[in-house]
A = this chain, B = another copy of it.
Amino acid sequence: MNLQQLRYVRETVRRNLNLTDAARALHTSQPGVSKQIREFEEELGVDIFERHGRRFVALTPPGRELIGIIDRILLEVDNLRRVGENYAAGDSGRLTIATTHTQARYVLPRVIASFRERYPKVRLSLQQGNPSAVARWVLSGEADIGIATESLDHLEDLIALPAYTWTHSVVVRPDHALANSGALTLQAIAEYPIITYSKEFTGRSHIDEAFAAQGLAPDIVLTAIDSDVIKTYVELGLGIGIIASVAFDPERDRQLKCFEAEQLFPINTTRVAIRRGAYLRDFTIAFIESFAPDLTRERVIEAIGSNRTADAE
């Protein structure tokens, strides 16, 4: 048994049991992967993959049990590497953050600016996608941490720590009928065409819930994953916009009038997601702390509940 065999099995499972794909992804030859998997199965005495002729069609029952263990082993192997880097190259390395557009565009810039000042030698990369992709990237290890407002709970191997809360705002053109009204109501908003986020994004589910709770059927004429796109179409007069409050910039968005809507829609919580059992580099924890000062180093270590010993600086 060796680690390479475990990697081959894991990758083959991840690639929908396509061994050829797995070999390509691992930059190695397909027969090599085939042989190693065979030998691994022989050593364990059980088949991991159910084969129809020469094709893999499913995991066997022992295969399903093994894959969970294999995932944990390879996670811990990554952790060994990270511990090494943390001590050997404390302030340099790479930090991959999976997140959504709103975070990347409106929240992270100031955090990243200060992070880069403190850790100039860390190479940052942002993986942008929808919240379930964010969760997937963190779970697979492609990203170190994930930041999103939805879809980060209800996953056993994902730890989602609340970072901050925020509310939506309504934006309209200055010449819109609602522009000079007093306090907005959901009823009033529902009379006009609406532009807001796509399903799954940036608290959209809370928007839908709020309307549904009052039996309203809003006319959502356009959705986007992107606050800038929403604002652009509001400016064009296509409807009124519902966006995250952080996405309104009084300086830039002079063509729009903004109403805070914290009374109308439920409060949203943006969370930082970490893979359970993953070892976090010091600078990763520092990033989280700088993103959400409530999440102190101690609380993060406590929450991931593993690996890091108490005396680790």
Q: Which residues of A approach B to under 8 Å, CB–CB?
A: 1-3, 43-46, 61-62, 64-66, 68-70, 72-73, 76-77, 79-81, 83-89, 279, 307-309, 311-313
Contact = CB atoms under 8 A, between A and B. Distances in A.
B307 A84 contact: no
Contacts of A46: 83-84, 87-88
A78 to B, nearest CB: 10
Given A2-B2, A2-B3, A65 B83 contact: yes
A40 B38 CA distance: 28
Interface-central residue, A64, A83, A88, by most chain B CB under 10 Å: A83
Contacts of A85: 45
A308 B89 CA distance: 38
A2 to B, nearest CB: 6
A307 B3 contact: no
Given A1-B77, A43-B84, A65-B83, 13 more contacts: A1-B81, A3-B3, A44-B88, A45-B85, A45-B87, A45-B89, A46-B83, A46-B87, A62-B87, A65-B312, A66-B80, A72-B72, A73-B77
Given A69-B76, A69-B307, A311-B61, A45 B84 contact: yes
A308 B61 CA distance: 11
